[in-house]
């Protein structure tokens, strides 16, 4: 019997680690399991509007068949042109990030969709406004963090720092997913060593590894192995 799954806040150990790809895989996975998921990007920088080629929401909508013909603007909270931290991108435009309006938007979505897949902007210490960082917004969003991390060199440090910061706030992550878009691919022995180190020095498991995705509309079945490990008991 299908059960409820938590809303998911996709956070990254850094910018460009693959949060949007992981969000896409989550959407595809939950649609295939009979859920009605909803993707939401609270703060988007580096694009003119939700229809821009650099819009994360447009990427999701272009590659999920169930979203064909729907308006990606409904999946974006605030959009700023310059590719930098939301606080500074908004300031460049003479605007302020009123992120405290976003939990209300998400609550309205919960009446129609489940689960919500919320994608953060950058890493957890990215400034959202003059007083708040991304990590400060997590409790208000009502979604449990899933950490997107690189598979290769440097990920041990970045991932353990992210986990430690969450634990200091009593925020429990769902797990970690490695994304490996490197060319050539990260050697398997390095990936396994990285997984071992994160497991050994934190209480969080690396649920899976996603290699380079060649077809975003039809990801290979192995791309979902980590998600099945995380959510199989709920579907």
Q: ∠ at Cα 216 (17, 79), nearest 5°?
A: 55
Q: Which of 188, 112, 124 is nearest to 160 (CA)?
A: 124
Strand pairing class (175-179; 144-150): parallel
Helical axes 19-32 vs 56-63, angle rounded to 10° = 30
Q: What gap in Å lies between CA 69 and CA 134, rounded to an integer?
A: 31
Q: What gap in Å lies between CA 128 and CA 222, rounded to an integer?
A: 35
* Beta carbons of 123 and 11 less than 8 angstroms apart: yes
Per annotation, catalytic residue among 41, 58, 84, 109:
41
84 is a catalytic site residue: no
3-state secondary structure of 149: strand
- DSSP label at residue 165: H
Active site residues: 41
């Amino acid at each position: 019997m299908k059960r409820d799954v938590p809303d998911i806040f996709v956070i990254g150990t850094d910018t460009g680690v693959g949060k949007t790809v992981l969000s896409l895989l989550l959407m595809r996975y939950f649609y295939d399991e009979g859920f009605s998921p909803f993707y939401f990007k609270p703060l988007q920088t580096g694009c003119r509007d939700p229809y821009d080629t650099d819009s994360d929401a447009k990427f999701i909508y272009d590659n999920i068949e169930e979203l064909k013909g729907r308006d990606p603007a409904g999946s974006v909270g605030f959009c700023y042109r310059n590719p930098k931290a939301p606080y500074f991108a908004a300031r460049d435009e003479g605007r302020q990030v009123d992120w405290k309006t976003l939990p209300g938007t998400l609550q309205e979505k919960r009446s129609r969709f489940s689960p919500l897949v919320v994608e953060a902007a950058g890493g957890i210490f990215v400034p959202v406004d003059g007083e708040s960082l991304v990590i400060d917004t997590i409790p208000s969003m009502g979604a449990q963090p899933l950490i997107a991390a690189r598979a290769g060199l440097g990920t041990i440090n970045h991932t353990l720092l992210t986990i430690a910061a969450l634990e200091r706030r009593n925020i429990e992550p769902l797990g970690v997913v490695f994304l490996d878009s490197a060319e050539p691919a990260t050697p398997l022995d390095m990936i396994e060593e990285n997984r071992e180190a994160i497991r050994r020095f934190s209480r969080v498991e690396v649920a899976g590894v996603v290699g380079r995705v060649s077809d975003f509309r039809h990801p290979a079945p192995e791309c979902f192995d980590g998600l099945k490990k995380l959510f199989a008991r709920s579907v």
